């Protein structure tokens, strides 16, 4: 999968970034990067080209690649029951990501709604929002590259109908199979689910009990058909299939049988190890690493990093976390190129993007200039397809 020309503004002309520490996949070199017509024309350790921008020893890293973020949903609904104007929300989301060094994003959108039980917060929204996002892209309104990540909710009532509304033109790069049936995976501990749901929606004890019963009944009736339908939809759309919240080796074995290539947020060391045994890349949340643990009580990202079981980081619900966590991982591993690869080269490979993710001649000039001051990454410039966007 690669970038289509329509809708993405690519810079013309030349720009050189010199006197920089350039982070390649396996080493850091001192030199310059020449950008020509939106692509990397050369990476040179010799003398700086005339007219080059002096980066004063700052790092130049590839633009960050975000595979799973709820950030667009946050802009669409900044408060419960508030539906913000979508065009403004899309532009704000796009600008925020550019400002924190993310140059490629797979915007996560839930497909599969719950329309029974009196719920109003789990309605259909993905298809119209995706159309608005693609229209903004086609008009050249966006700063960075956008693909779709459809989060297929197995425990829902409308998944198959909603999936049927998407086609090849929608740039669906990832389809993840989610199962939020109470009592398993992320919410095996019902007390954690209760804390989350009641805190967010203000449900009473009886309303929470009804909520649990309704979701379990939906899963019993439709879960198997929805899981099979999601696998088929990924094949039809040419999307990478991902699992979500694998907890046991048995979960992972099922995922592998479906053709899953990416595991989002496995909840245990057992599941992460099984993913590696099956050749499935493991993605963990940057907030988990920064906070020192999962807000849901699941395995800590740092533990998986120590075990060599962490391949990709995702900002999840805090866009700025991606850069911060990558540098934290560099300190943990003592290996900056390896850490930066978790937010650049590895997510690019996992999603079939062979035109970005590393600093190499011929690839898109998606680059970030960043200083590392007092342990904090400070972004000083962001380029998307050679155009400065941050």
pLDDT tens for residues 137-156?
999 999 999 999 999 998 88
Chain mean pLDDT for the chain = 90
- From CA 377, how far away is CA 324, in angstroms rounded? 6
Question: Which pLDDT value is given to residue 5?
Answer: 45
> Could you give the percent of the chain with pLDDT greater than 70?
87
Backbone phi, then psi, for 97, in 5-degree steps?
-65, -45
Q: What is the pLDDT of residue 32?
A: 97
Taking the C-alpha atoms of residue 22 and residue 61, their distance in angstroms, rounded to an integer, is 6
Residues 6+ apart with CB under 8 A from 221: none
pLDDT of res. 199: 47
* Segment 160-213, tens digit of pLDDT: 999 999 998 999 999 999 986 665 655 555 555 555 555 455 556 666 566 567
Task: Flag residues of the chain having pLDDT under 50.
Answer: 4-6, 199
Residue in the structure block whose two tokens are 């709604």:
113
DSSP 272-309: HHHHHHTTPEEEEEHHHHHHTS-TTS---HHHHHHTT-
The whole-number pLDDT of residue 182 equals 63
For 311-341, the pLDDT digits (tens) are 999 999 999 999 999 999 999 999 999 999 9
287 neighbors 322 (Cβ within 8 angstroms)? no
* DSSP states of 104-169: EEEEEEEE----STT-SSS---HHHHHHHHHHHHHTT--SSEEEEEEEEESSSSSHHHHHTT--GG
Model pLDDT, residue 49: 87
Is this model's pTM higher than 0.85 or not? Answer: yes
Q: What is the pLDDT of residue 6?
A: 47
Q: What is the pLDDT of residue 303?
A: 97
């Amino acid at each position: 999968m690669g970038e289509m020309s329509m809708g993405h503004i690519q810079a013309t002309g030349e720009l050189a970034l010199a006197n920089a520490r350039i982070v390649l996949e396996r080493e850091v070199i001192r030199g310059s990067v020449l950008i020509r017509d939106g692509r990397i024309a050369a990476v040179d350790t010799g003398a700086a080209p005339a007219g080059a921008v002096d980066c004063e020893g700052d790092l130049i890293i590839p633009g960050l690649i975000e595979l799973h973020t709820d950030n667009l949903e946050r802009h669409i609904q900044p408060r419960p029951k508030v539906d913000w104007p979508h065009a403004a929300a899309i532009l704000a989301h796009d600008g925020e990501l550019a400002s924190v060094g993310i140059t490629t994003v797979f915007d996560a959108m839930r497909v599969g709604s719950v329309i029974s039980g009196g719920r109003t917060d789990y309605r259909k929204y993905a298809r119209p929002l995706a159309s608005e996002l693609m229209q903004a892209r086609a008009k050249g309104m966006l700063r960075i590259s956008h693909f779709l990540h459809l989060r297929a909710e197995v425990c829902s009532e409308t998944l198959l109908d909603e999936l049927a509304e998407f086609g090849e033109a929608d740039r669906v790069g990832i389809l993840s199979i989610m199962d939020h049936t109470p009592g398993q995976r992320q919410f095996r501990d019902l007390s954690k689910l209760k804390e989350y749901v009641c805190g967010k929606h203000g449900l009473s004890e009886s309303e929470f009990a009804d909520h649990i019963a309704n979701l379990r009944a939906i899963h019993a009736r439709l879960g198997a058909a929805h899981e099979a339908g999601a696998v088929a939809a990924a094949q039809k759309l040419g999307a990478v299939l991902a699992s979500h919240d694998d907890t046991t080796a048995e979960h992972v074995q099922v995922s592998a049988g479906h053709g899953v290539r990416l595991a989002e947020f496995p909840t245990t060391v057992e599941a992460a190890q099984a993913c590696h045994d099956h050749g499935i890349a493991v993605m963990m949340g940057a907030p988990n690493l920064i906070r020192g643990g999962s807000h849901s009580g699941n395995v800590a990202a740092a533990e998986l990093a120590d075990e060599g079981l962490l391949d990709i980081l995702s900002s999840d619900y805090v866009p700025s976390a991606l850069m911060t966590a990558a540098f934290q991982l560099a300190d943990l591993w003592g290996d900056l190129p390896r850490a930066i690869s978790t937010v650049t080269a590895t997510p690019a490979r996992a999603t079939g993007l062979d035109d970005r993710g590393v600093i190499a001649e011929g690839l898109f000039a998606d680059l970030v200039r960043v200083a590392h001051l007092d342990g904090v990454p400070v972004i000083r410039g962001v380029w998307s397809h050679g155009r400065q966007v941050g």
